[in-house]
Amino acid sequence: MDNINKLKIFIIPGIVIFSDQVTKFIVKKYLVLGESIKVMGSTVCFTYIENEGMAFGIKVGNIAIFTFLSLIVTIFIFYYLYKIREKRFIYRFPFSLILGGAFGNLIDRIILGRVVDFVDVNIPDISIPSLDLFIFNTPKFELYRWPIFNLADTAITVGMIILLIIFCFDKEFLEAEKVVK
């Protein structure tokens, strides 16, 4: 019974995958590719696009190789999540979000050859000039259009943010990782 409780963490990726695929199905059923509908004025819209690249529209050279690598990474995350099933929930939770998001987008890549994206958030333009800080020179950064994304991308991003917070601030986790290695 105890092992069953520790494997309940796999419910979270299931919820992410289900929610992601249902919302993508609804978007494909009710919107035409490129169509946009306002949800919260012009701040949040649902805009149906299909992304052949990585997250945020980053282009990839060979989609078949990228899909294969995505499959390998998804299998690895599943294995790692199973391996850490004894750890506290807070350590398993971000990996469960990442697994669900990765698998949700992988389904699209395998079936469609691209990923359905639809959440379109209009954020204010961001422009950070290059800076000279002592011996470091930071490049100029500009973002005039936030990339359209989906629920799987959101799960992956939230999971990564939680992991970064854990890695930076949780001394117990860092000490446990030193023992494991």
Count of C-beta atoms within a 10 Å radius of residue 36: 16
Q: Which of 20, 108, 120, 153 is catalytic?
A: 153
Strands (E), the chain: 36-40, 44-51, 115-121, 126-128, 131-133, 136-138, 141-143
3-class secondary-structure state, position 122: coil
120 is catalytic: no
Max CA-CA distance within the chain?
58
Q: Exposed, middle or buried by CB within 10 Å (0-12, 13-18, 19+), for 19? A: middle
Q: Which of 20, 108, 117, 120 is catalytic?
A: 117
153 is catalytic: yes
Count of C-beta atoms within a 10 Å radius of residue 80: 13
- Which positions are catalytic? 117, 153
